[in-house]
């Protein structure tokens, strides 16, 4: 079985030494009492839950999968999953960052992000059962009626009920304007929903007594397209006025998807036959309400791949230190053994350092992004809230797409380190690869994220949000550019910042003449911007490591070496990406579709 050691030291480094989160918390009234000791205590306990309770179930859950009873439509999760979930609820983990008004602990979202990274490392399939509940919670907080909040939020907060989001239908994926599920108004103010949904993560299971489905559907008089979509709350069991459970609702599992990975999670096909629901928010304005949940899910998916990158790296590094094969090209490094450990070989080190750099860079991006969410939600200053909201909007598609792309590459590299053993199930590496692949697809494919970033988040406001990021980076470059030891990090960061500005302007001008130019450049553009954010955060981490490299703590020496690897070996990818983005739409669109 693969091993996993929660990366508490690196989390603490980012939280306290790079970002000084406790200083930010003191400026936020709701979190003013949260100090470094509280942060450390929470993530240490979260690490124990992940490594001791969830990790042992990862391989067995993958092998066993979920089972559907066709007669009752009930789904049973793999052995041990239900018991682990009971421990999760007993420990108060679902309520960590929820509002005390609904029974939550009221702690910063940053702590929840760290918890979820560790749980995803230990067992992504299990973590998906409670994962969407946070998005459902946020959607109801923002758009739910007082009655919906009273009946549902305490149970979702405590974890006694989970939540899903039901968007996709067989004939339409991301293009939600094509969905057909209908909602018929009833005399009592409720609605009866009829239709089918597919790919619903944790759509049916036996971990909780109730599941709260948030379902997109159309009213009878709804306009065509995405402007005619409404959001409905449809519970598995109806909920009485006093909060007790009533009869079984008309929403049930018609089948389970047979997937490449995440076998331990029930990806359900849901059938709605006169299912009773209540409207969330305003009629025909379901997408803005659902986007609260979708954006939370997109950040969460990035953390899924971050978790897999970390655990894959840990196992590959341990294997490379022990596996002996061939001699170093520069002479024996273990003359007392018949061969050297493979960690002496440059390309093995390149694969390991790629995974490590993407894990540590992704962790910094994830924590920084979630700290912005805490500022957006909890700051007393309206200007600060809006500035944080703009940055979160810009960074969300990057967290989702860049971190998941990196996770796929990193887990594949780590499997490669194992050679033939990596392809064998018992070592656990091939599961990390299979599980990571879905993260590039669901919650909006990475191409959709790229189109969202370039089209909606950058070009639509003439680069206003991007300029805010640019000012942040420019200030860092100005402050650190005079420090000689920082030149190897500040120079490439400043250079890439200038290139991003020029590239953005060029694409924008082309797009005025031909909108396909956005689609042609978007994926390359997102990856370039992802590297810009990584370079900024890696430069900040290098600054701290430089100041402490002579402290005697090898952590800082390793951090500095990883930073140098990132700037020397990974950041140069941006040159090819920029060239590809500039090549435009013509090489993609000139061939007649019939010739494919």
Mind listing the pLDDT tens digit for each residue in 344-353? Answer: 999 999 999 9
Question: Exposed (0-12), middle (13-18) or buried (19+): which is 445, by Cβ within 10 Å?
Answer: middle
- Tell me the β-bridge partners of 215: 166, 232
CATH number of 8-143: 1.10.540.10
Q: What is the CA radius of gyration of the chain?
A: 24
CA distances from 202 to 57, 132, 134, 158, 451 (A): 17, 9, 13, 17, 28
**What is the average per-residue pLDDT within 184-207?**
97
**What is the average per-residue pLDDT within 285-306?**
88
First to last CA, the chain: 44
**What is the average per-residue pLDDT within 547-570?**
98
* pLDDT for 590: 94
- Give the pair of three-digit tokens for residue 25: 């918390």
Question: Exposed (0-12), middle (13-18) or buried (19+): which is 173, by Cβ within 10 Å?
Answer: middle
**What is the average per-residue pLDDT within 244-273?**
98
Residue with token string 């693969």: 2
- Three-class HEC string of 426-448: HHCHHHHHHHHHHHHCCCCCHHH
- CA 561 to chain centroid, in Å, comes to 27
What is the rounded CA–CA span in Å between residue 32 and residue 26? Answer: 4
Residues of the chain above pLDDT 90, percent: 95
HSE at residue 126, side-chain half, CA atoms within 13 A, is 34
Residue 65, phi-psi category: left (phi > 0), alpha (psi -120 to 50), beta (remainder) = left
**What is the average per-residue pLDDT within 163-184?**
90
Among the four given CATH numbers 3.60.10.10, 2.40.110.20, 3.30.2320.50, 3.30.9.10, the one describing domain 163-284: 2.40.110.20
What is the rounded CA–CA span in Å between residue 238 and residue 5? Answer: 42
Mind listing the pLDDT tens digit for each residue in 37-80? Answer: 999 999 999 999 999 999 999 999 999 999 999 999 999 999 99
HSE at residue 288, side-chain half, CA atoms within 13 A, is 10
What dihedral angle (degrees, nearest 10) is formed by the CA atoms of 166, 170, 171, 175? 30
Residue extents of the structural domains in the chain: 8-143, 163-284, 460-596
- Measured over the CA atoms of residue 404, residue 406, residue 409 and residue 411, the dihedral's sign is negative
φ/ψ (deg, to 5) at 340: -90, 155
What is the rounded CA–CA span in Å between residue 411 and residue 105? Answer: 35
> Which secondary structure element, helix H or strand E, spans residue 67, and what is its range?
strand 67-69
Q: Is the per-residue pLDDT at 406 higher than 90? A: yes
pTM: 0.97
Task: Give 287's pLDDT tier (boundaries 50, 70, 90).
Answer: confident
Q: Is the per-residue pLDDT at 289 higher than 90? A: no
Interstrand relation of 267-280 and 191-201 (parallel, antiparallel or unpaired): antiparallel
Q: pLDDT averaged over the chain?
A: 96
From the candidates 443, 484, 506, 517, give the one annotated as an active-site residue: 443
What is the rounded CA–CA span in Å between residue 460 and residue 390? Answer: 13
- CA 456 to chain centroid, in Å, comes to 20
- Considering only 100-109, 221-230, 308-317, which range has the smallest mean pLDDT? 221-230
* pLDDT for 1: 86
φ/ψ (deg, to 5) at 441: -105, -55
HSE at residue 438, side-chain half, CA atoms within 13 A, is 25
Residue with token string 């597919």: 198
What dihedral angle (degrees, nearest 10) is formed by the CA atoms of 377, 378, 382, 383? -80
Q: Is the per-residue pLDDT at 215 higher than 90? A: yes
Task: Give 290's pLDDT tier (boundaries 50, 70, 90).
Answer: confident
What is the rounded CA–CA span in Å between residue 426 and residue 58? Answer: 12
Residues in CB range of 187: below 8 A, 6 or more apart: none
Residues in CB range of 313: below 8 A, 6 or more apart: 352, 355, 356, 359, 410, 414
Of 438, 398, 435, 430, nearest to 414 (Cα)? 430
CA distances from 229 to 163, 219, 497 (A): 20, 8, 39
**What is the average per-residue pLDDT within 455-475?**
96
Per DSSP, the three-state class of 583 is: coil
- CA 514 to chain centroid, in Å, comes to 32
Beta carbons of 158 and 89 less than 8 angstroms apart: yes
Beta carbons of 172 and 326 less than 8 angstroms apart: no
> Which secondary structure element, helix H or strand E, spans residue 320, and what is its range?
helix 286-322
What is the rounded CA–CA span in Å between residue 523 and residue 126? Answer: 30
Q: Is the per-residue pLDDT at 400 higher than 90? A: yes
Task: Give 294's pLDDT tier (boundaries 50, 70, 90).
Answer: confident
Question: Exposed (0-12), middle (13-18) or buried (19+): which is 235, by Cβ within 10 Å?
Answer: buried
Q: Is the per-residue pLDDT at 488 higher than 90? A: yes
Beta carbons of 128 and 262 less than 8 angstroms apart: yes
3-state helix, strand, coil in the chain (%, to 5): 65, 10, 25
382 is catalytic: no
- Tell me the β-bridge partners of 6: none
Mind listing the pLDDT tens digit for each residue in 146-159? Answer: 999 999 999 999 99
């Amino acid at each position: 079985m693969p091993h996993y050691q929660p990366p508490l030291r690196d989390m603490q480094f980012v939280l306290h030494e790079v970002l000084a989160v406790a200083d930010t918390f003191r400026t936020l009234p709701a979190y003013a009492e949260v100090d470094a000791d509280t942060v450390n205590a929470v993530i240490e306990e979260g690490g124990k839950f992940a490594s001791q309770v969830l990790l042992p179930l990862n391989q067995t859950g993958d092998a066993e999968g979920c089972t559907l009873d066709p007669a009752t439509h009930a789904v049973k999760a793999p052995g041990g999953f239900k018991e682990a979930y009971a421990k999760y609820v007993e420990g108060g983990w679902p309520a960590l960052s929820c509002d005390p008004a609904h029974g939550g602990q009221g702690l910063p979202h940053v702590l929840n992000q760290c918890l979820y990274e560790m749980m995803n490392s230990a067992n992504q399939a299990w973590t998906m059962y409670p994962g969407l509940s946070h998005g459902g919670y946020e959607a109801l907080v923002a758009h739910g009626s007082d009655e919906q909040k009273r009946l549902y939020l305490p149970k979702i907060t405590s974890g006694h009920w989970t939540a899903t989001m039901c968007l996709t239908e067989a004939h339409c994926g991301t293009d939600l304007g094509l969905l057909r599920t209908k909602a018929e108004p009833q005399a009592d103010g409720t609605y009866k929903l009829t239709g089918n949904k597919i790919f619903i993560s944790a759509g049916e299971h036996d971990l909780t007594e109730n599941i709260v489905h948030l379902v997109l559907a159309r009213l009878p008089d709804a306009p065509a397209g995405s402007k005619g979509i409404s959001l409905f709350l449809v519970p598995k069991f109806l909920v009485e006025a006093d909060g007790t459970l009533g009869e079984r609702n008309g929403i049930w599992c018609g089948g389970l998807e047979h997937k490449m990975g995440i076998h331990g999670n029930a990806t359900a096909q849901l059938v709605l036959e006169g299912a009773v629901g209540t409207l969330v928010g305003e009629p025909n304005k379901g997408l803005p309400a659902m986007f609260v949940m979708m954006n939370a899910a997109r950040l969460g998916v990035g953390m899924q791949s971050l978790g897999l990158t970390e655990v894959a790296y840990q196992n590959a590094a341990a294997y490379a230190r022990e596996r002996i094969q061939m001699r170093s090209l520069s002479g024996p490094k273990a003359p007392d053994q018949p061969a050297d450990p493979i960690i002496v070989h440059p390309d093995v080190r390149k694969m390991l350092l790629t995974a490590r750099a993407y894990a540590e860079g992704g962790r910094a991006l994830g924590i920084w992004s979630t700290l912005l969410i805490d500022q957006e939600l909890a700051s007393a200053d309206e200007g600060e809230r809006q500035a944080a909201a703009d940055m979160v909007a810009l960074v969300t598609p990057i967290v989702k797409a860049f971190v998941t792309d990196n996770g796929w590459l990193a887990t594949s590299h780590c499997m490669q380190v194992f050679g033939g053993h990596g392809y064998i199930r018992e070592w656990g590496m091939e599961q990390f690869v299979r599980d990571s692949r879905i993260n590039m697809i669901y919650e909006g494919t990475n191409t959709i994220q790229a189109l969202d970033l370039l089209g909606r988040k950058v070009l639509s406001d003439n680069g206003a949000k991007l300029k805010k990021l640019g000012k942040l980076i420019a200030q860092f470059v100005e402050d650190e550019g005079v420090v000689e030891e920082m030149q190897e990090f500040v120079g490439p960061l400043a250079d890439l910042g200038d290139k991003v500005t020029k590239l953005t302007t060029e694409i924008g001008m082309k797009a005025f003449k031909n909108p396909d130019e956005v689609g042609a450049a978007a994926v390359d553009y997102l990856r370039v911007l992802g590297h810009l954010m990584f370079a900024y955060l890696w430069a900040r981490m290098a600054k701290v490591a430089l100041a402490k490299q002579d402290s005697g703590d090898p952590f800082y020496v390793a951090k500095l070496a990883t930073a140098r690897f990132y700037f020397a070996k990974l950041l140069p990818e941006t040159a090819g990406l920029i060239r590809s983005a500039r090549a435009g739409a013509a090489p993609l669109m000139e061939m007649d579709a019939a010739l494919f």
